[in-house]
Amino acid sequence: MKTVTSVEAQNRFGELLDNAQREPVTITRRGRTVAFLLSPEDMKDLLVIRRQRETALADFEDFFARADAKLSADAAKLTDADITRLVNELR
């Protein structure tokens, strides 16, 4: 990945646009990364991955919400005798 300063990026913008079609370009200011210049294909890939991550996170949260609700419902059915028995089994 090519890295240039913000001043270089201003002075060589056209060249960097061409470079970004081959590989992402990192732009820094005062030694810190402030931006990336990348191709439309790379950006599409990143957006697809972001959507997949968001979907996976929503599925994960939904699964645990349903599991928590089921456990809460099951726990509400336990009697004192059931709880005592379970505790003694774990000892």
Max CA pair span of the chain: 78
Tens of pLDDT, residue by residue over 20-74, are 999 999 999 999 999 999 999 999 999 999 999 999 999 999 998 888 887 787 7
CA distance 57 to 87: 34
Class of domain 2-38: alpha beta
Tell me the whole-structure pTM to 2 decimals. Answer: 0.63
- Residue 27 near residue 45 (C-beta atoms within 8 A): no
Query: What residue ranges do the domains of the chain occupy?
Result: 2-38, 42-90
- At residue 30, the pLDDT reads 97
Among 26, 28, 34, 37, which Cα is nearest to 2's? 26
Among 44, 46, 25, 47, which Cα is nearest to 36's? 25
Please report how many Cα atoms fall inside a 13 Å half-sphere around the Cα of residue 49, on the Cβ side.
Answer: 6
